[in-house]
Chain A
Amino acid sequence: MSDTKNFMFLNRRAPYGTIYAWESLEVVLIAAAFEQNVSLMFADDGVYELTKNQDTAGIGMKNFSPTYRTLGDYEVRHMYVDKASLEARGLTADDLVQVEWEDWETEESVDNIVEVVDSERVAELLDESDVVFSF
């Protein structure tokens, strides 16, 4: 009997202005360490968490955006981005960080697990998850 569940982390807040984005990332890392199937969904202002070229030197806060790029190493296999949220904010997939994934045992690899999906697919993915954590 397996105790593995499909965890979905739904991220809807911009980074830095509030603590939500950072707290979500912390819980994602914990869940991944417990060998659960972890996926991330970025919608609404959550899409801002993945922007490239974040530089927090001027605001005296830790730049945690590089951590997203390591999630593939923690066996996070899927990072989904809601297309409508991205478009409303004048952004495209090119503005987002890329996250590599590799299975150390099978050597199967994916260049970029960040995937832009439409609203219908977002709804399906949320519906298919066993647990949705909201941030």
Chain B
Amino acid sequence: MSDLHTVNKSPFEKNSLESCLRLSKAGSAILLYEDGVYAALKGTAVENMIASAVSDKKVYVLGPDYKARGLADDRMIDGVEVVDYAGFVDLVDANDKVQAWV
């Protein structure tokens, strides 16, 4: 079993995502929600962080937060998976514990 890491801050405003990706083990699940979802968009200055994370971690985005911010599904970085609130709960249940990178 592995851990679920959550990131809810914009990657342009705080280093939460950067630290999360640097300090989490391969095989971890990463869930982007609230302002964390901006990291999942293609073509940004931080695209490489997520694009390389998906090679050895599972990266998820909370769909309602992504949609609220006007971001289009077809511009999401490849390999990132969208979950709804029930999917969030499933991730919490499926992992050993939740580590929040606030």
| A55 lies within 8 A of B67 (CB) | yes
Question: For chain B, what secondary structure do more than half of its interface residues adopt (helix, strand, loop), or is it mixed?
Answer: loop
User: B81 on the interface (CB 8 Å rule)?
Assistant: no
Contacts A44-B13, A45-B13 known; A51 to B70 CB distance under 8 Å? yes
Q: How many residues of A contact B (CB 8 A)?
A: 25
User: A22 on the interface (CB 8 Å rule)?
Assistant: no
| A55 lies within 8 A of B68 (CB) | yes
| B69 lies within 8 A of A51 (CB) | yes
Give A56 to B67 CA distance when docked, in angstroms.
Answer: 7
Residues in A whose Cβ lies below 8 Å from that of B43: 90
Give A79 to B29 CA distance when docked, in angstroms.
Answer: 40
User: B3 on the interface (CB 8 Å rule)?
Assistant: no
| A88 lies within 8 A of B38 (CB) | no
User: B57 on the interface (CB 8 Å rule)?
Assistant: no
Residues in A whose Cβ lies below 8 Å from that of B12: 44-45, 88-89
| B68 lies within 8 A of A89 (CB) | no
**Top 8 A-B pairs ranked by shortest CB distance?**
A58-B64, A90-B43, A17-B35, A51-B70, A90-B44, A54-B70, A88-B45, A56-B68
Taking Cβ atoms with an 8 Å cutoff, the residues of B that contact A are: 8-10, 12-13, 34-35, 38, 41-45, 47, 63-65, 67-72, 75
Taking Cβ atoms with an 8 Å cutoff, the residues of A that contact B are: 13-18, 44-45, 48, 51-59, 61, 63, 65, 88-90, 95
A13-B13, A65-B70, A90-B45 given; 16 more Cβ-contact pairs under 8 Å: A14-B35, A15-B69, A16-B35, A16-B65, A44-B13, A45-B38, A51-B70, A54-B69, A59-B68, A88-B44, A89-B12, A89-B44, A90-B42, A90-B47, A90-B75, A95-B70
